[in-house]
Amino acid sequence: MSINSDIETRSGVDWDAESADFDDEPDHGLRDPAVREAWAARVAAWLPRGPSDVLDLGCGTGSLSLLASEQRHRVTGVDLSPRMVDLARAKLAGRDAVFLVGDAAAPPVGEQRFDVVLVRHVLWTLPDPERVLRLWCGLLRPGGRLVLIEGVWGTVSPVGISADRLTGLLAPLVRDVRVERLSDDALLWGREVDDERYAVVAVV
């Protein structure tokens, strides 16, 4: 199976094809300074204060990786889509950041361990979230944290993972879980939204 057909099988989306326009969405490209600043403030609050090692899984074009890097964190990004990885490499050129083509459910990072596993809008597409969360916890150093930004989108045929389900899956794996609701902050999305959007910060 080629990498491209593998990408389509897993998420129902051809992410290589989507990559060219991906950053056109306000919360993807963060081109509007107000939207960018809203995400930068959240990322600063979710990540440790000092420079740390951040693993951005399903990093896409690297928008959150760039915010983390600007906040002095060292970033490793992983994405299944080679074109997304190319765009992330270009976006963070010259920075202390490495981008790898690979599966978020089996990241190609060897024995390396991280202070933060950061994942936005990817977990819900993965076939076995319980197994994946356990694996991600195992990639963290003691005291490290998962920062997971997820949601449930749409009303007729909603897709995603609810905060209740995600915190239930995390409860046996971590010491502390905090949910931050993001639906009311229109600046993050570039518009008002009425579906469930949230971040979870879970400390192992």
- Which member of 14, 103, 180, 185 binds ligand SAM (CB under 6 A)? 103
| Rounded least distance, CB 166 to ligand SAM, Å | 16
- Residue 74 burial class via C-beta count within 10 angstroms: exposed 0-12, middle 13-18, buried 19 and up: middle
CB nearer to ligand SAM: give 101 or 173: 101
| 121 binds ligand SAM, rule: CB under 6 A | yes
Task: Tell me how many residues contact ligand SAM (CB under 6 A).
Answer: 22
Among 38, 55, 67, 84, binds ligand SAM (CB under 6 A): 84
Which three-class secondary structure state does DSSP give residue 51? coil
Instruction: Please list, in sequence order, all residues whose beta carbon lies within 8 angstroms of the beta carbon of residue 182, skipping any fewer than 6 positions away.
Output: 42, 149, 151, 188, 197, 198, 199
What distance in Å separates the CA atoms of residue 77 and residue 119, rounded to the nearest whole number?
A: 10
Q: How far apart are CA 71 and CA 47, in angstroms?
A: 9
Per-residue contact flags (x/-) with ligand SAM for residues 43 to 82, judged by CB under 6 A: ---------------xxx--xx-------------xxxx-
Instruction: Tokens for 154, please give them.
Output: 């749409």
Residues that bind ligand SAM (CB under 6 A): 10-11, 15, 28, 58-60, 63-64, 78-81, 84, 103-105, 120-122, 125-126
